[in-house]
Amino acid sequence: MFEQGTVLYEIWVSRWALLQGLGVTVLISLLAIVLGTILGVFVGLVLVYGRWVSRFAVRMYVDFVRGTPVFVLVLASYYLLTQIGIQLTAFQAGLFALVVFCSTHVGENLRGALQSLPRGQTEAAKAIGLTFPQIFVYVLAPQALRQALPAWINTATEMVKASTLLSVISVAELLLVTKQIVARTFMTLEFYLLAGLIYFLINYAIERAAKAAERRVALPS
Amino acid sequence: MGYHLNFGAVWRDFDLLLSGLGLGLGLAIVSIFAGCWIGLVAAFAMNSKHAYRRRIASCYVTVFRNLPPLFIIVFAYFVLPRLGLLVGKIETFILTLSIYGGAYLTEVFRGALLALPRGQREAGLAIGLTEWQTKVWIIIPIMIRNAFPALANNFISLFKDTSLAAAIAVPELTFYARKINVETFRVIETWLVASLMYVAACYLIAAGLRFFERRLAIPR
């Protein structure tokens, strides 16, 4: 089964390369989600509670980023940032693009969740004498997070999908590693199927998690 | 910094960028059209009474929703020729984008189907239409009108996904932007113009589709 020349043999030979590619894919996605969420929370809060100048600026940012394909963001950040004197590796430049992309998704998601809360919630909280920070922490945020959670988990799938784009700017993530192995072994179908299976399993797990979260956070009716 | 903005190089090749934008739009239109057919068939299969049809349709949706689009494109581009299917780059791309988009459209149509009152189908059957006629003349038109907003969103995201075609050297906007960038080193100008073109196109498409949406909406 493991003789030279068989698929299993080639997979065994390139196991470390594949694992490394998988590691880079997971690392990119994780970092993009974590950093993107931190930035995205600010984006969402400004969109809802900001003064009009900052709200307008952030709205422009969100609309601009969401109107541009992620692929263009990745390429632009790769070529642009070095040009204006910020020396970044391909990994960092690609990650920057994904963080920006993720922040707009998280921001819009949070804005939607916050704005969908009935006004009565804020009014009732004011009526019992809570200050705005208290209203936000004890009344609005818990409800908004409950609503935003499933979509937030789905953003993770988007990030795993977008991480493949970094293969074009020579970051050795799973897709690029697969391409390299295929160039060596000529086992096109086999290795692409393997990569596809791995991507599918990651995203399927995330999708299941999102579904489970949706069930758990749903308000009992 | 020592960088002076100079849009000359980008303006010189602006017609290339425009042609790329046109091709991207064309790709998106063809793909959503094909994707709608796939989506319709799969959505009806998902609500079918035969378990095997439901299985196949839900497998299709789960698999293609969870694969990165760039992966599917690269897969189709490199694997199809190996299997003896020699198709051009553009055809490969349209094929993959339709199948990828079809998975999302299936979900859209499935939701729209579930939202239709049962009475519609029963009324159709009651006036003597066959099952097929009911589908074609009653269910699908109402369903598409209800699903139109979601359809419009999907169209815009498919349009943005056409930028991935640059990865297999289909000459659309992103491809030309990269080319101009590499040839002229007018980095900031190129990417600024390219992304503004995408943003403007998305905005115009969204505005146009909203107009249609109002025209198509079922009056209440």
CB contact at 8 A, B188 and A77:
no
Q: What does the pLDDT read at residue A214?
A: 84
CB contact at 8 A, B168 and B93:
yes
pLDDT tens, residue by residue, A7-59? 888 888 888 999 999 999 999 999 999 999 999 999 999 999 999 999 999 99
- Match 């293609």 to its residue by tokens: B64
Q: Is B177 left (phi over 0), alpha (psi -120 to 50) or beta?
A: alpha
Continuous H helices in chain B: 8-12, 14-46, 51-65, 69-82, 89-115, 118-126, 131-134, 140-161, 173-184, 187-216
Set of chain A residues whose Cβ sits within 8 Å of the Cβ of B162: 69
Q: How close, in Å, is residue B45 to chain A by CA atoms?
A: 22
Q: What is the mean pLDDT of chain B?
A: 91
CA distance A59 to B85: 46
pLDDT tens, residue by residue, A197-215? 999 999 999 999 988 888 8
Set of chain A residues whose Cβ sits within 8 Å of the Cβ of B163: 69, 71-72
**Minimal-distance CA residue of chain A relative to B206:** A67
CB contact at 8 A, A95 and A32:
yes
**Site from A28, A29, A68, A207 to mutate, B interface, most B CB atoms within 10 angstroms:** A68
CB contact under 8 A, B181 and A79: yes
pLDDT tens, residue by residue, B23-76? 999 999 999 999 999 999 999 999 888 999 999 999 999 999 999 999 999 999
CA distance A179 to A191: 8
CB contact under 8 A, B79 and A189: yes
| pTM given for the model | 0.90
Q: Which of B62, B188, B199 sits opposite A67 (nearest CB)?
A: B199
Q: Which of B66, B70, B79 sits opposite A164 (nearest CB)?
A: B70
- Match 């953003």 to its residue by tokens: A155
- What is the sign of the dihedral through the CA atoms of B146, B150, B153 and B154? negative
Of all residues in chain A, the percent with pLDDT exceeding 90 is 68
